[in-house]
Amino acid sequence: MSTPTDRSTVDAPEPALETTQAGPQDLRGPAAEPRRRSAGGGRGFPSALRGGGRVAGLDGLRTVAVVLVIVYHLEPDVVPGGSVAVDVFFTLSGFVITRLLVAEYARNGRIGLGSFYRRRWLRLGPAMLVMCAVTALLSVALPLPLFDGAWTAAALAAVSVVNLVRAGESGPYSDLTSPLSHTWSLGVEEQFYLAWPLLLLVLLRHTTARKVLAWVAALCIVPLLWRLALWDPTAAHRIYNGPDTRADQLLIGALLAVILARLRADDPRLALLRRWAGRLCWPALALLGLIAWQIPIAEASAWNPVWYTVGFTVAAALSATVVAALDLGPRSWPSRLLSIGALTWAGRNLSYGMYLWHYPVIRLLSDLGVPDTHLLPAGLAATVAAALTSYALVERPLLRRDRGRARVRRAEPAAATERPAAG
């Protein structure tokens, strides 16, 4: 089985974003200008506060992408380029996270980094630790050849550094991370989640909204130039696994989020973007499907300077086109197809768990002697069962508890202001 994959980052539903419109009495005098920008203009991001719910089509896209990853690991000859789902997930993650961060800044004039990191940890960390613990225990309880060394792999996965270990291996991947090698992409995303909010906050505080857009666009180019400088067949693992060499795929999603936040609902450029994204959505999906079907990416025989330099950026641009079309055109045919109830629910609640568990599940079934002809249906069924268990027993209870605490914290200031003064 080949190893490079990614997962879909499933973000917990956020509360509706609200903005209070200032009345005429609030706009008098020079001191009212900051309030006008804050209340009506979203601090330079007028559309950041629009809406607040999830986009069903994006959840459906997560489901399709994670199924593609699973099929790629089970039947690599069917979809030799199935690891292109990595690019889709990276771009989608960059888009969703940046949209939430910019919306918070537009609403409050700040980004609560502590709250952000806590939510990320609750959403991703406990489920990851449970999967690592179960895998490590399997290696002790059962004589499974494919789980040899699982303790080491579990420790590396738990601290999200599998990608860094793999990036340092110039030849074939060692057995050090193989039991949980699929977590390499989780490492890339976790490292992005650590660095990007800090950098974005610096940009938001110290420059204008227009310059933030220019800076993010410029940052998207840096990893491409870095890959061109690094490229050598012996550097393929370094380029494929490095958080710096894959950052443009997340940043292109971030750039799309900033663009959409900057454009007002009545801006003709937004209408133009909506129209062209809708027109290009099907071709972009077709090209991504063609890559998955025909272009091997992760095997040593497929290492080539085109894909490992420009190709990553092109795949991210195609993914961003699809994301833009789904976000801006909820009534389009791609959105309707990807918004089917089962796809949406699975993408919202199970796709992260499916990604986490599919690789150890496949290895376990293979070790237990499940025939190759039955491995795909058995692997899919067992993966969904494991993801459902993780969602019901680990992910959902923690998220519900955190949301309950957040509602209490939001209610306390309001209750304090409504309490009559002692007389």
Give the residue carrying structure tokens 């003064």.
Answer: 421
CB 316 within 8 A of CB 91: yes
Residue whose C-alpha is closest to residue 405's, from 129, 124, 12: 12
Query: What pLDDT does residue 13 have?
Result: 33
pLDDT at 17: 30
b/e for 288-309, b at 16 or more Cβ within 10 A?
A: beebbeebbbbeeeebeeebbb
- For residue 54, the model assigns a pLDDT of 81
How many CB atoms lie under 10 A from the CB of residue 266? 8
With contact defined as beta carbons under 8 Å apart, do 278 and 335 qualify?
no
CB 187 within 8 A of CB 162: yes
Structural tokens at position 381: 């069924």
Angle between helices 247-262 and 209-230 (to 10 degrees): 160
Out of 41-45, 336-340, 355-359, least confident range: 41-45
- What mean pLDDT is reported for the chain? 85
- 149's CB contacts (< 8 A; 6+ apart) are 139, 175, 176, 178, 179
Mean pLDDT in residue range 151-167 = 95
CA distance 105 to 212: 13
Q: How far apart are CA 115 and CA 308, in angstroms?
A: 36
Is pLDDT above 90 for 37? no
Give start and end residues of each alpha helix (H) in 16-112: 32-41, 56-74, 84-108
pLDDT at 60 > cutoff 70: yes
Mean pLDDT of 88-116: 95
Residue-level pLDDT at 409 = 56
Total length of the chain: 423
pLDDT at 43: 83
- Rounded to whole angstroms, the Cα distance separating 291 from 65 reads 13
Q: What is the DSSP letter of 346?
A: H
Query: What's the start-to-end Cα distance of the chain, in Å?
Result: 75
**pLDDT for 10:** 32
Residue 27 vs residue 275, higher pLDDT? 275
Closest alpha carbon to 321 in 289, 284, 290, 292: 284
> What is the per-residue pLDDT for 296?
84
What's the CA angle centered on 217, arms 211 and 219, to 5 degrees?
105
Which range (185-194, 216-225, 261-270) has the least confidence?
261-270
Residue 126, SS3 per DSSP: helix
- Rounded distance between C-alpha atoms, residue 360 and residue 135, angstroms: 7
- pLDDT category at 320 given cuts 50, 70, 90 is very high
Which residue type, as a one-letter code, is found at position 50? R
Q: How would residue 9 be classed by pLDDT, with cut points 50, 70 and 90?
A: very low
**Lookup: tokens for 42:** 């979203």
The conformation of residue 268, written as its DSSP 8-state character, comes to H
Residue 41 has what pLDDT?
55
pLDDT at 407: 60
Q: pLDDT digits over 218-234, tens only? A: 999 999 999 999 998 88
pLDDT of 26: 33
Confidence of residue 309 (pLDDT cuts 50, 70, 90): very high
CA distance 215 to 65: 30
Residue 322 pLDDT greater than 70, yes or no: yes
**3 state SS of 262:** helix
User: Which one has a higher pLDDT value, 217 or 42?
Assistant: 217
pLDDT at 70 over 70: yes
- Looking at per-residue confidence, does 323 or 413 come out higher? 323
The DSSP secondary structure of 358-399, one letter per residue, reads HHHHHHHHHHTT--HHHHHHHHHHHHHHHHHHHIIIIIHHHH
Q: How confident is the model at residue 25 (pLDDT cuts 50, 70, 90)?
A: very low
What pLDDT, on the 0 to 100 scale, is given for residue 31?
Answer: 37
3-state secondary structure of 22: coil
